[in-house]
Structure 1
Amino acid sequence: MLYSAECWPTKRRLVQQLTVAEMRMLWWFCGHTRRDRVRNEVIREKVGVASIEEKFTQHRLRWFGHIQRRPPEAPVHSGVLKRVGKVKMGRGRPKLTWDESVKRDLKDWNISEEVALDRGALGD
């Protein structure tokens, strides 16, 4: 379910949908149904898996570290880290970008950008 998830700017709705799908698989895996009224935390603990939201964050920060370690002339920098200036904004709320998702993850997990350069710190 998380194939190429490191590049997705994840909204709460997407995370919720994937969490529901994952929990259905875990219930099935454990042989439970919703009628058994077993809490999600109990099933997660029994199987030993982290929440999908944590996995999203780990994948995204690992990819961020990979990009940061690349040389500045690498093609990944031209598409991800550079902004186009002087573009007229449309109406409504701006779309969530990958950069904003990474900044939110770094803030939520209290990680500095320098830690991203250390491969061992993020499990790369």
Structure 2
Amino acid sequence: MCGVTRKDKIRKNYVRGTVKATEVSAKMQERRINWYGHVIRSEEDYIGNRVMEMHVDGRRRGRPKLRWRDRLKEDLEDKGLRREGAMDRTRWKRLARNSDLI
């Protein structure tokens, strides 16, 4: 990518700072929030909206799986965003952004 190999034994934080890129987890958070805004702004009969409101009956054995909705809730709380804010697309995208290091 930038002329660095694993044999050089350079820490990823140093390389990330040199390349001016954010962590992958921060970018994933940004994409989840952007997709949620897209679904919220879409029509009511859109399949994404129907799936978001769907509830599956039944129980699982063992530890409950972390659902996309649960992770999204954490992301929205972390950023201080609310569902109503998604209607303004440009503002939503700006607030959801985890900008690359400058």
TM more than 0.5: yes
Question: 2: distance between equivalents of 1:90 and 1:105?
Answer: 25
Question: 1: distance between equivalents of 2:34 and 2:5?
Answer: 35
Question: Is 1:51 matched up with 2:37?
Answer: no
User: What code does the residue aligned with 2:16 have?
Assistant: R
Contact persistence 1:58–1:122 (CA under 8 A): no
Shift of 1:53: 0.5
Shift of 1:42: 1.7
Question: 2: distance between equivalents of 1:68 and 1:30?
Answer: 39
Q: How many residues align?
A: 94
Contact persistence 1:106–1:112 (CA under 8 A): yes
TM-score by length of 1: 0.65
Equivalent of 1:67 in 14, 20, 39: 39
Question: Is 1:34 matched up with 2:9?
Answer: no
Shift of 1:73: 1.8
TM-score by length of 2: 0.77
Structure 2 spans left out of the alignment, 5+ residues: 95-102
Structure 1 spans left out of the alignment, 5+ residues: 1-28
User: What code does the residue aligned with 1:90 have?
Assistant: R
Question: Is 1:113 matched up with 2:83?
Answer: yes
Equivalent of 1:94 in 49, 52, 64: 64
Measured on the aligned residues, the alpha-carbon RMSD in Å equals: 1.9
Question: 2: distance between equivalents of 1:116 and 1:73?
Answer: 18
Query: What are the superposed Cα offsets for residues 18-62 of structure 1, whole Å, 9 maximum, x if unpaired?
Result: xxxxxxxxxxx1222334332222211211211100110111100
